[in-house]
Amino acid sequence: MSFAAENICWKIRSKTVLDGVSFTVRPGEMLGLLGPNGSGKTSLLRLMAGLKRPHAGRVMLEGEDLGAIQRRRVAQRVAFVEQHATTNASLMVEDVVRLGRFPHRGLFSGWSAEDEACVEHALAHAGMAHKRRDRWQTLSGGERQRAHIARALAQSPRELILDEPTNHLDVQHQMALLALIARLPITSIIALHDLNHAALFCDRLVVLKEGRVVAEGTPEAVLTEALMRSVFQVEARIAPSPYHGRPHIQFLPG
């Protein structure tokens, strides 16, 4: 087990946003988090990243309560790409990506060859090497998203949490990003709205509805026509794709 959510409850004022959420994430797997708008995906990811504490239940990271682990130790292994992340507008892309190395550096230690190598790899993997000297305010939405992904990769995480990372990306970059995450030898949790992307790239899926887990398992087990109806309120037909063998969902007009 890499991550585990144990009976997590989280409220905002009197509204219960997450209600008894439990699931496990296995080492090295890419876990897709699905659910309609407002079902609690972002709230759950913020708890898994340690940005917020659950009101009841625990997030476990390799058997330790996340709330009891020093923030710096968490940052040395868990990277989080938020949905609406921003940064100082005058920074260059490479400065933003260098910030990813911060948790690994001692107070007085200089910039090392390893730091530089991590930044180079991250820029290349996110397809941002050619934009490295561009300023943040001059980037498109998709380029900003890729710069944030590069920053997370530069952090050399063992666990990577991504909140709808394909938003703003064109189809080429959506496919490239998901293929990259699937290939990385790390554990990832990724909130996605595109159910066919989830079917194609994720090892397992967790589905939230109104703050509760309603399904967990392989894409084949989870993505059923009944779930499309009961959770997403759409009619669909699902069959293994003749091209890649994963489930392919064809949505039908209402």
Ligand X SMILES: Nc1ncnc2c1ncn2[C@@H]1O[C@H](COP(=O)(O)OP(=O)(O)OP(=O)(O)O)[C@@H](O)[C@H]1O
- Judge contact between 141 and 149, C-beta under 8 A: no
Answer yes or no whether residue 40 interacts with ligand X by CB under 6 A: yes
Stretch that binds ligand X, among 20-28, 34-42, 104-112, 228-236 (CB under 6 A): 34-42
- 6-25 residues near ligand X, rule: CB under 6 A: 12, 17
Answer yes or no whether residue 38 interacts with ligand X by CB under 6 A: yes
Give me the sign of the Cα torsion angle 31, 32, 34, 40. positive
Cβ closest to ligand X, residue 39 vs residue 155: 39
Which residue stretches of 22-156 are H helix? Answer: 41-48, 71-75, 93-98, 113-125, 141-154
Whole-Å CA distances, 182 to 25, 116, 189: 14, 24, 11
In terms of Cβ atoms closer than 10 Å to its own Cβ (0-12, 13-18, 19+), residue 129 is middle
Answer yes or no whether residue 167 interacts with ligand X by CB under 6 A: no
Smallest separation, CB 240 to ligand X (Å): 27
Answer yes or no whether residue 39 interacts with ligand X by CB under 6 A: yes
Stretch that binds ligand X, among 40-48, 93-101, 140-148, 232-240 (CB under 6 A): 40-48
Smallest separation, CB 45 to ligand X (Å): 8
- Exactly one of 4, 8, 21, 41 binds ligand X (CB under 6 A); which one? 41
d(CA 180, CA 201): 10
- Judge contact between 97 and 89, C-beta under 8 A: no
Helix (H, G, I), strand (E, B) or coil at 47: helix
Cβ closest to ligand X, residue 47 vs residue 118: 47
Smallest separation, CB 40 to ligand X (Å): 4
Stretch that binds ligand X, among 37-45, 53-61, 98-106, 168-176 (CB under 6 A): 37-45
Answer yes or no whether residue 43 interacts with ligand X by CB under 6 A: yes
Q: Which residues here bind ligand X, judged by CB under 6 A?
A: 12, 17, 35, 37-43
